[in-house]
């Protein structure tokens, strides 16, 4: 019978470490490859967006210039109209009666003028023959001159009456699009001091956009423009403006600054700017709100990195960089505005440094890595934050 040999338990524990040492794990000591973005310096245009409101190139309010009841509306609301098209008619009977009365007064004045002229023509030869006194001649001359003045006054009153009668028909002052009427047939309109605005006609082949900028932004734009802002609209190389609509899309046609208001409102610290945009398709309408995107300055030799490289905690921004020894370090930065999917860096980074792009979940300061430079193209977005 064969005898079994027992190996002491302590001997097994002694042999196990020696056996494992023969298969050394070298993967833990090998640095891992991570993707990094290498910073470069470039001139970075900085854009700001401003909330503005759209107005027609001309928004003309239609008012009644005389009092009366509205008798007729001669257009379709929201339609296109031409200059001098008839829009409204008011009751004209009182003004026609006044015109008839003024015509009667003109006729009476002309009759008196004819009599005075006849008297003067009869007395003047007699006065030359000393058949009548000089006083009679002077009286005849005065009566003729008074009759002439009465005719002129009566004719002026008649013209004024006809002007008032003409105001009972209201015509369009411009070509454009007319809105909803604020008065119906039978309404009494034109009473002072608050006459009803009957309607508004807008010319919108070109639209105006008004927006406000702060005093600080004004100074940035003024320095960047390199000229007096009152002359910026006359420059051929003036930066064009973009218009962002309410649905997030960018309007097809660029605009330009028309004028900048004369001063800053001390109660708000803002200044009004008006820009114009062509509107051949008439997509833009009066009253719309939109965002105006304008270049306010250019950052010389600036640095920008992908936004995903930046970490934020309690308002402080930081990135992981790989130094010349391929060791990861954490670096605090001063983050500027965002452009597309990139972040502008005001300070904290220099050109040529490698910023960790991938693996931010497990990366930590002090480890050694193999940096792999990744070329990243910006993905253009509709707005800059």
Residue 382 domain-assigned?
Answer: no
In a domain, 155, yes or no: yes
Percentage above 70 pLDDT, the chain: 85
Do 279 and 254 belong to one domain? Answer: yes
- Give the residue with greater pLDDT, 99 vs 195: 99
**What interhelical angle do 134-166 and 93-128 show, nearest 10?**
160
Residue 175: CATH number of its domain: 2.40.50.100
339 and 278 inside one domain: no
In eight-state DSSP terms, residue 6 is P
209-259 per-position pLDDT tens digit = 999 999 888 887 777 665 555 555 555 545 589 999 999 899 999 999 888
Number of domains in the chain: 4
Find the CATH number of the domain harbouring 353: 2.40.420.20
Q: What is the 8-class DSSP label of residue 249?
A: P
pTM equals 0.69
- H/E element, 116: helix 93-128
The reported pLDDT for the residue numbered 24 is: 47
Structure confidence by residue, pLDDT tens digits, 301-357: 889 999 888 988 888 999 999 999 999 999 999 988 888 788 899 888 999 999 998
Residue 225, pLDDT score:
62
Residue with tokens 């009751």, as numbered in its chain: 91
Distance CA 182, CA 197 (A): 7
Amino acid 204: pLDDT? 94
Quick one: average pLDDT of 355-378?
85
pLDDT at 179 over 90: yes
Same domain? For 162 and 189 the reply is no
Q: Are residues 251 and 306 in the same domain?
A: no
Q: What is the pLDDT of residue 26?
A: 45
Q: What is the Cα–Cα distance from 120 to 144, expressed in whole angstroms?
A: 7
Q: Where residue 146 falls among pLDDT bands split at 50, 70, 90?
A: very high
Phi, psi of 282 (to 5 degrees): 55, 35
For residue 193, whether the previous peptide bond is cis, meaning omega lies within 30 degrees of 0, is yes
* Measured CA distances, 134 to 90, 115, 123, 131 (Å): 56, 20, 10, 10
Confidence tier at 364 by pLDDT (50, 70, 90): confident
pLDDT tier, 2 (very low <50, low <70, confident <90, very high otherwise): very low
**Parent domain of 231:** 49-57+204-298
CB-CB contact of 154 with 109 (8 Å): yes
Res. 150: pLDDT tops 90: yes
Q: Which residue has the higher pLDDT, 133 or 297?
A: 133
| pLDDT (tens digit per residue) in 35-70 | 999 998 888 888 888 999 999 999 999 999 999 999
| Co-location of 312 and 287 in the same domain | no
Own/partner pairs, 281-284, CB within 8 angstroms, 24+ separation: 282/177, 282/204, 282/205, 283/251, 284/54, 284/204, 284/207, 284/251
Residues 76-89: what's their mean pLDDT? 95
Distance CA 132, CA 216 (A): 90
Mean pLDDT (whole number) for 132-156:
92
CATH code of the domain covering residue 124: 1.10.287.470
Question: Do 111 and 74 have their domain in common?
Answer: no
Q: In this structure, are 218 and 243 located in the same domain? A: yes
- Residue 230 has what pLDDT? 55
């Amino acid at each position: 019978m064969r005898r079994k040999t027992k190996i002491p338990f302590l001997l097994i524990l002694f042999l196990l470490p020696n056996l494992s040492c023969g298969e050394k794990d070298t993967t833990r000591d090998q640095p891992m490859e991570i993707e990094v973005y290498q910073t470069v310096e470039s001139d970075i245009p900085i854009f700001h967006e401003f909330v503005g409101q759209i107005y027609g190139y001309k928004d003309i309010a239609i008012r009644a210039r005389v009092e009366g009841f509205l008798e007729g509306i001669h257009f379709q609301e929201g339609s296109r109209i031409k200059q001098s098209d008839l829009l409204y008619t008011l009751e004209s009977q009182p003004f026609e009666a006044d015109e008839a009365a003024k015509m009667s007064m003109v006729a009476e004045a002309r009759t008196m003028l004819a009599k005075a002229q006849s008297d003067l023509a009869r007395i003047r030869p007699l006065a030359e023959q000393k058949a009548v006194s000089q006083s009679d001649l002077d009286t005849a001359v005065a009566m003729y001159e008074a009759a002439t003045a009465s005719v002129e006054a009566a004719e002026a009153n008649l013209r004024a009456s006809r002007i008032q009668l003409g105001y009972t028909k209201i015509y369009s002052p411009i070509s454009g699009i007319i809105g909803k009427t604020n008065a119906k047939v039978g309404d009494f309109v034109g009473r002072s001091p608050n006459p009803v605005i009957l309607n508004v006609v807008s010319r919108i082949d070109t639209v105006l956009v008004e927006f406000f900028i702060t005093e600080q932004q004004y100074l940035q734009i003024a320095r960047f423009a390199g000229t007096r802002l009152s002359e910026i609209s006359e420059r051929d190389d003036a930066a064009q403006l973009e218009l962002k609509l309410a649905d997030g899309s960018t309007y097809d046609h660029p605009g330009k600054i028309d004028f900048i208001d004369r001063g800053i409102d001390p109660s708000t610290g803002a200044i009004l700017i008006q820009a114009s945009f062509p509107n051949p398709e008439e997509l833009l309408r009066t009253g719309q709100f939109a965002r105006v995107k304008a270049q306010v300055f250019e950052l010389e030799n600036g640095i920008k990195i992908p936004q995903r490289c930046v970490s934020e905690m309690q308002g402080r921004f930081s990135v992981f960089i790989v130094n010349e020894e391929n060791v990861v370090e954490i670096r605090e930065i001063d983050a500027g505005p965002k452009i597309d999917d990139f972040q502008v860096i005001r300070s904290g980074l220099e050109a040529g440094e490698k910023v960790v792009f991938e693996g931010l979940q497990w990366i930590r300061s002090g480890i050694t890595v193999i940096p792999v430079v990744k070329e990243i193209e910006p993905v253009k977005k509709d707005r800059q934050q």
